[in-house]
Structure 1
Amino acid sequence: MNKTIRKVAILGSGVMGSRIACHFANIGVEVLLLDIVPFELTEDEQKKGLTKENPAVRNRIVNTALQNTLKAKPSPIYDQSFASRITTGNFDDDLPKIKDVDWIMEVVVERLDIKQQLFEKVEKYRKPGTLITSNTSGIPMHMMCEGRSEDFQINFAGTHFFNPPRYLRLLEIIPGPKTKPEIVDFLMDYGDRFLGKETVLCKDTPAFIANRIGVYAIISGMHTIEKMGLGVSEVDKLTGPVIGRAKSATFRTMDVVGLDTTVNVANNLYKALPHDESRDKFKLPKIVEVLYENKWFGDKTGQGYFKMIRHKDGRKELKELDFNTFEYKDVEKPKFKALEASKEIDDLKKRIKFLVNFEDKAGEFYRASFYDLFKYVSHRIPEISDELYRIDQAVSAGFGWELGPFETWDVLGVKETVEKMEAAGEKAAAWVHEMLDAGNDSFYKVENGKKKYYDIPSKSYVEIPGTSDFIILDTLKAADKKIWGNAGASIYDMGDEVIGLEFHTKMNSMGAEVIEGINTAISMAEKSYKGLVIGNEGGNFSAGANLAMLFMFAGDQDFDEINLMIAQFQKTMMRARYSSVPVVVAPHNMALGGGCELSLHADHIQAHAELYMGLVEVGVGLIPAGGGTKEMTRRFSNRVIPGDVELNHLQEYFMNIAMAKVSTSAEEARALGYLRPQDGITLNRKRQLAEAKAKVIALSDAGYTQPMEQTNIRVLGKTSLALFEAGITGMIYGNYISEHDAKIARKLAWVMSGGDLSAPTEVSEQYLLDLEREAFLSLTGEKKTLERIHSILFKGKPLRN
């Protein structure tokens, strides 16, 4: 279907409407955001003598909503300047403007009558053929279509974003009874490629897929928690990152989302599902019902499962709910033998299997909750989805699970788990037994480098649609495409004469194993391949250099070893820049310190839109010495054109490092100078490695030539040193920085100025690398630097001394 989206109309500016508008603005689409006209003047408007006819009054609701959204943390928009792409208005005056848009999206309150009334007005102005969707979390499509024209119905569907839409990956697509297939195909593709979402096709069933399964898991889990007598902190410890779930786990998530939201969905599902075999699990257990009746909904009401106590002296103290007394008590620090015993198991799949089979209270909880969930999802096919992979996709993307229910079941072993489930009284659906009886022992498998799922109607394994456009490292591993590896890095054949390097250290920190991996990958690529992609599928691209080794050497005052270590790091970064084949780096989430420096030296960066990149070494009492300081100085030099005020530009780059500025998006990373204009941004994380590989091929096929090291970097010597010294002194006098901060800043200024040169001079990259290494070495001998490193390593928090 050939459809271009240049302009969208978002009808409804509440929490979801404003945030969806921001995300469309993020990708460059022009947005018309509309809402109702206020019924009454505010007291402030009355004092100003305004009337209901004043534009400021008529657009107050939409403008206030948008401004509040733009102030929200984390921000819903990649760059505040993108807000200019959003035009506001109201339904009474501006609804006729929808005739000029390509897509109309309704995001008003979840009431069928209000939605139908709005659609009736929309039909007066909507141009035939215009795409129209409703962002609903549960109202059936066929009800919303009632009374609408044929053209409206064939171009109508549900588009269920999860909040916040910038950050949560799920977008459920729900066709109406008459929706054209090409409209569904367009929405699935657009959500994936342009909005960066995991687009999941849903049936028009109550709560669709993610909320149907996710809310069941929550409320059913509450029954288990109540039965076992587990506490708030105990449950959050068990249901967080240790099993690949969000850090906010169960109760903290409910407080943030709002208990009323979860309960309303559960109550609606109970009413709407008279034939659901597990319907009674949607009934509220006491540990939910009491809070709901007391209106302890969480953060929005000031208390829920947790409550923040503010003391008169300004101290804040977090308390948790006691399920025996329903009063608040000190937050507990739970301990389980299973969790203690699993600490050294880094592989999530191995850890989950270990925990579920462990004989203690934690293992008992995991078995009860997982077996119940497995039974439930098996019975939802074909009710809510014909394909099992859609359930995994929806729940994982919507609730932040690393592994969906069927993926987790595979990890535990389908056959042995079915036997244990039946022994526990949990009976899987008949099709699972039929699958096992036919000799098929898993829901997923990898064949010929392609991930396939078990297709129930055909009783065979079928490739997951759309995944041919992705490069998934787990699939490459399963297909035996690994060609080299050590404890911290692995190299894979990505096909088409391109290889990929993956880090797999803790937080993907860069130590000796990763440096060896980079050098080995470049050597292999130079010998036999078109080029190299450096990227991974971990939670973060890289949190920076391995500080533990540096701390050990610095504590022993082994400066020769530190010098060798830094020289090797610099050499490796420069090799990434000056190899004979293109090197493309694909950073995502955190790319800090050394992770940022590696990216800065790539021929091309293919960044994920969610990129938190920065040179943060000053936080541990150091300066960037893996070429980061050199590189920002080089970029300053290459950016300056005749007539520019050089000092202003140099100061920008200096302040980025001195203040450890970290981007909050890839777009902001470009504004900070970490990304260049030619570097790319990928919206959908699953497409990032494939797009990075395509860039390697494009650079190679265009006739890639090994670049030459730059020897004409302009540094300003005493001129910039004087400027920086004045600023540093002023910051000290104003008590904005400590003496040690000032010492670090002076070292940084020395490097970026090229030293104490009497006049602006052109220097080489190696000259600056030597300066930054010398400055780094001197700072490792400082007691206060060691104190900062110690605080990060052993307390997990930065120290300002």
Structure 2
Amino acid sequence: MKRTIRKVAILGSGVMGSRIALHFANIGVQVLLLDIVPREVNEAESKMGLTLEDKAVRNRLVNDALQSAVKSKPSPVYDPSMASRIITGNFDDDLSKIKDYDWIMEVVVERLDIKQSLFEKVELHRKKGSLITSNTSGIPMHMMCEGRSEDFRTHFAGTHFFNPPRYLRLLEIIPGPDTKPEIIDFLMDYGDRYLGKETVLCKDTPAFIANRIGVYAIISGMHTVEKMGLGVSEVDKLTGTVIGRAKSATFRTMDVVGLDTTVNVANNLYKTLEQDESRDKFKLPKIVEVLYEKKWLGDKTGQGYFNMIRHKDGSKELKEIDFETFEYKAVEKPKFKALEASKEIDNLKKRIKFLVNFDDRAGEFYRATFYDLFKYCSNRIPEISDELYRIDQAVTAGFGWEYGPFENWDILGVRDTVEKMKAAGEHPAAWVEEMLDAGHESFYKVEGGKRKYYDIRSKSYKEIPGIEEFIMLETLRAADKKLWGNAGATIYDLGDEVIGLEFHTKMNSLGAEVIEGINTAISMAEKQYKGLVIGNEGGNFSAGANLAMLFMFAGDQEYDEINLMIAQFQNTMMRVRFSSVPVVVAPHNMALGGGCEMSLHADAVQAHSELYMGLVEVGVGLIPAGGGTKEMVLRFSDRLNDGDVEMNLLQESFMNIAMAKVSTSAEEARGLGYLQTKDGITLNRKRVLADAKQKVIDLHNAGYTQPIQKTDIRVLGKSSLAMFEAGITGMRYGQYISEHDAKIARKLAWVMSGGDLSQPTLVSEQYLLDLEREAFLSLTGEKKTLERIHSILFKGKPLRN
């Protein structure tokens, strides 16, 4: 049966329900969002003469929840206008409408009696064959569908989104006892392709996979923290990005999520898991229990492990809890020999291995927590999953870890780590030693160009299902698909006569090595391939040009070198635009400055939906000079005829650059003019490179023709210069911008106007590129520009001077 999801009904508009509704709206689905009817009118409604019979009152809870969600930060919706796809109502008046909906999702409070009561009403109205799922975080599926019809039970499953559903990649799919296999297959595929999720099939066990492992890691880790006498900042320093985990690390994450959330899961697991050999690790240590009893739950209560003190003079001071006195103290700046010694190790795998084996308190902490987690995960197979890769998928997608437990075990070396674990009194499950005895040295390996996992039941390696359509650069490296490389870039054979360029500098900045890589890749593609994909799997696509090199040249007043560097960058961007084969750029997360300019010049862009794209050079006292300013003029100046509307359109483009506007989604990037109609958006990050490759093939098969430079770009000269000058002067008089801001803005206005031309004129791309380069070069000679660059490079903060 072909199943299409056009309309989704979300039952329950709380924090999760309203945000899940908005994520469905993000992908274009019509949503019906329902909740209960208030028991009484509030004061404002009473003053308006409203009663419980009025629709505004009856839908107050759902409407307030939705509006609160739309306004929340980070935004759960790609663009606020998308919320219009949601229709609101209440259970009493509108539940019958679900008969027209393809998927009904329950997201009410975590109480079995309430869920069962709602499902009883749902069954009176849902059409046969429609999907019915519960977004529970732990209530067993078999209990929720007791007493329901066969059609209900066979179309029922758990769909556990993690909060916030737009940003966290995990979607756990939990079959009920009677769920049809094709329903599970559909949910797994739909979550992947349309919702952009890492869909993980789970058994119907307490807390499923991610929370079972993730909460164990947190609470068990707290016992180690307490035993070793570590402090809040010390732990957060050890458990963040340095080992490939979320920037918010441990205690900051608990404050953001809410301590009660973690505690409730831990308490429920302790009560439920009577046969779990590590059950006692779910008991709350004092450093958790005390804060929970005090109701210091984090951001939701105003204080938790951290407390932001607001002084009378308006200043703020961040403090952390002292685990000896449970009073707040100044935030510490912890120092560990291991972390100091690992600063120069950019490769995360090498850094993890270095840190875990380092002989100091940090290494001791890592060994204790890693070994304990490895033991626990090995013992959860086959209880929570028959396959070890599902545990890694769930933890990485749900908790933002770069590598899951078994992947980390591989990094450290399975055999060596088992010996060290046993010496420390931590014995893994018997199947691990059986695997080693059989000569299998790792949980994962690449064989025949495919990533495989060790399957416990067959005692052999099997291909990980569901990833055959993905392009994973790590797998290509292991499969010896590298064609060329230097210190900052690598070219791979992506198959089907398409090559891919990855850059891997710090923050993926665009320095000389990357420029060489782009030119080499284009030359290679032009000789013998259908086209080129430029993309990577780093935390960000690119933070922009290499400022350190520019700062060095500017400080030494090497302006000829700067001029040459800008010209080379411009020429490279123009090669991206005017190559004889299609070039598709695949940006994700941050694509700033030069990363944005590269995207602007591609034949097409295949962007990840989470895209923070913008021309931000003004922030360091410069203007876009890699063709970015030129490209924005090219895109907007010729769209309309003469007149005020055209002026407004050009001014909008000017303001985007002058204010360094950055999109908060790929959809918003369209509105800002960084993406065009021809550009694609992929929701699942792991599919971006594969979709970009397909776009290259499609362009090739459509008969790609090498474009030629434009010579008919319309610039407005004096008329737009006057408009820009009026705005800049007004902003300066109002003290909204500094004198240096005004100088930068005037340089930008000069380029976007085409100079001081007496009337609108048609100019070439090269004409605008020359103006860009001149403006950029002159700004590198400004003391205040150098101060801004210095602040970014050495303090990590923008400077307004």
Shorter chain as denominator, the TM-score bin is over 0.9
Q: Counterpart of 2:209?
A: 209
1:419-466 per-position Cα deviation (integer Å, ceiling 9, x unaligned): 111111111111111111111010000011110000111111111001
**2:373 is equivalent to residue 364 of structure 1:** no
Q: Counterpart of 1:22?
A: 22
TM-score, length of structure 1 as denominator length: 0.99
Q: Counterpart of 1:330?
A: 330
**Cα 1:569/1:253, change in 2 over 3 Å:** same
- List alignment gaps of at least 5 residues for structure 1: none
Q: Note the 1:228-307 alignment, pairs <5 A.
A: 228-307=228-307
Structure 1 residue 702 displacement after superposition? 1.3
Q: Note the 1:347-362 alignment, pairs <5 A.
A: 347-362=347-362
Q: Counterpart of 1:495?
A: 495
Q: Counterpart of 1:134?
A: 134
Structure 1 residue 270 displacement after superposition? 0.6
**2:453 is equivalent to residue 424 of structure 1:** no
1:588-620 per-position Cα deviation (integer Å, ceiling 9, x unaligned): 000000000000000000000000000000000
**2:630 is equivalent to residue 630 of structure 1:** yes
**2:760 is equivalent to residue 733 of structure 1:** no
Structure 1 residue 487 displacement after superposition? 0.8
Structure 1 residue 637 displacement after superposition? 2.7
**2:633 is equivalent to residue 611 of structure 1:** no
* Partner amino acid, structure 2, of 1:556: D
Q: Counterpart of 1:441?
A: 441
> What percent identity do the matched residue pairs reach?
85
Q: Counterpart of 1:381?
A: 381
Whole-angstrom CA distance in 2 between matches of 1:760 and 1:643:
11
Q: Mean Cα displacement is larger for which, 345-354 or 640-649?
A: 640-649
Q: Counterpart of 1:3?
A: 3
Q: Counterpart of 1:317?
A: 317
Structure 1 residue 644 displacement after superposition? 7.7
- List alignment gaps of at least 5 residues for structure 2: none
* Partner amino acid, structure 1, of 2:287: I
Q: Counterpart of 1:529?
A: 529
Q: Counterpart of 1:181?
A: 181
Q: Note the 1:140-151 alignment, pairs <5 A.
A: 140-151=140-151
Q: Note the 1:69-148 alignment, pairs <5 A.
A: 69-148=69-148
Whole-angstrom CA distance in 1 between matches of 2:348 and 2:790:
28
Q: Counterpart of 2:714?
A: 714
Whole-angstrom CA distance in 1 between matches of 2:208 and 2:348:
28
Structure 1 residue 638 displacement after superposition? 4.2
Whole-angstrom CA distance in 2 between matches of 1:335 and 1:746:
46
- Secondary structure at the aligned position of 2:748 is classed as helix
Structure 1 residue 30 displacement after superposition? 0.3
Whole-angstrom CA distance in 1 between matches of 2:448 and 2:306:
49
* Partner amino acid, structure 1, of 2:522: I
**2:476 is equivalent to residue 469 of structure 1:** no
Structure 1 residue 279 displacement after superposition? 0.4
1:702-759 per-position Cα deviation (integer Å, ceiling 9, x unaligned): 1111101000000000010011111111111111111111111111010010000001
User: Any runs of at least 4 consecutive aligned residues in structure 1 with deviations exceeding 3 A, and if so which?
Assistant: 641-644
Whole-angstrom CA distance in 2 between matches of 1:163 and 1:41:
31
1:554-580 per-position Cα deviation (integer Å, ceiling 9, x unaligned): 111111110000000000000000000
Whole-angstrom CA distance in 1 between matches of 2:754 and 2:552:
30
* Partner amino acid, structure 1, of 2:391: I
- Secondary structure at the aligned position of 1:793 is classed as helix
- Secondary structure at the aligned position of 1:451 is classed as strand
* Partner amino acid, structure 1, of 2:665: S
Whole-angstrom CA distance in 1 between matches of 2:729 and 2:306:
45
- Secondary structure at the aligned position of 1:469 is classed as coil
Whole-angstrom CA distance in 2 between matches of 1:482 and 1:472:
13
* Partner amino acid, structure 2, of 1:550: L
Whole-angstrom CA distance in 1 between matches of 2:643 and 2:582:
34
Q: Note the 1:767-782 alignment, pairs <5 A.
A: 767-782=767-782
Whole-angstrom CA distance in 2 between matches of 1:667 and 1:267:
41
* Partner amino acid, structure 1, of 2:69: T
Structure 1 residue 639 displacement after superposition? 2.7
Structure 1 residue 642 displacement after superposition? 7.3
Q: Counterpart of 2:668?
A: 668
Whole-angstrom CA distance in 2 between matches of 1:440 and 1:184:
32
1:288-324 per-position Cα deviation (integer Å, ceiling 9, x unaligned): 1111111111111111111111100011111001111
Q: Note the 1:659-698 alignment, pairs <5 A.
A: 659-698=659-698
* Partner amino acid, structure 1, of 2:462: V
**2:742 is equivalent to residue 742 of structure 1:** yes
Q: How many residues align?
A: 801
* Partner amino acid, structure 1, of 2:779: L
Structure 1 residue 768 displacement after superposition? 0.2
Aligned residues: CA RMSD: 0.8
**Cα 1:642/1:750, change in 2 over 3 Å:** closer
Whole-angstrom CA distance in 1 between matches of 2:639 and 2:208:
52
Whole-angstrom CA distance in 2 between matches of 1:462 and 1:236:
37
Q: Counterpart of 2:52?
A: 52
1:110-154 per-position Cα deviation (integer Å, ceiling 9, x unaligned): 000110111011111111111000000000000000111111000
* Partner amino acid, structure 2, of 1:515: I
Q: Counterpart of 2:515?
A: 515
Q: Note the 1:550-699 alignment, pairs <5 A.
A: 550-640=550-640, 645-699=645-699
Q: Counterpart of 1:754?
A: 754
Whole-angstrom CA distance in 1 between matches of 2:402 and 2:644:
49
- Secondary structure at the aligned position of 2:199 is classed as strand
Structure 1 residue 701 displacement after superposition? 1.4
- Secondary structure at the aligned position of 1:639 is classed as coil
Whole-angstrom CA distance in 1 between matches of 2:751 and 2:347:
42
TM-score, length of structure 2 as denominator length: 0.99
**Cα 1:472/1:638, change in 2 over 3 Å:** farther
* Partner amino acid, structure 1, of 2:83: A
- Secondary structure at the aligned position of 2:200 is classed as strand
Whole-angstrom CA distance in 2 between matches of 1:542 and 1:90:
46
- Secondary structure at the aligned position of 1:762 is classed as strand
1:347-386 per-position Cα deviation (integer Å, ceiling 9, x unaligned): 1100000000000000000000000000000000000000
Whole-angstrom CA distance in 2 between matches of 1:8 and 1:2:
17
- Secondary structure at the aligned position of 2:143 is classed as helix
1:142-176 per-position Cα deviation (integer Å, ceiling 9, x unaligned): 00001111110000000000000000000000000
Whole-angstrom CA distance in 2 between matches of 1:27 and 1:393:
23
Whole-angstrom CA distance in 1 between matches of 2:732 and 2:637:
29
Whole-angstrom CA distance in 2 between matches of 1:610 and 1:260:
29
Structure 1 residue 645 displacement after superposition? 2.3
Whole-angstrom CA distance in 1 between matches of 2:410 and 2:492:
24
Whole-angstrom CA distance in 1 between matches of 2:363 and 2:142:
44
Structure 1 residue 643 displacement after superposition? 7.5
Whole-angstrom CA distance in 2 between matches of 1:91 and 1:431:
50
Whole-angstrom CA distance in 2 between matches of 1:648 and 1:147:
63
Whole-angstrom CA distance in 1 between matches of 2:642 and 2:11:
49
Whole-angstrom CA distance in 2 between matches of 1:49 and 1:599:
56
Structure 1 residue 695 displacement after superposition? 0.6
Whole-angstrom CA distance in 1 between matches of 2:297 and 2:737:
41
Q: Counterpart of 2:785?
A: 785
- Secondary structure at the aligned position of 2:468 is classed as helix
Whole-angstrom CA distance in 2 between matches of 1:265 and 1:519:
53
Whole-angstrom CA distance in 2 between matches of 1:288 and 1:758:
71
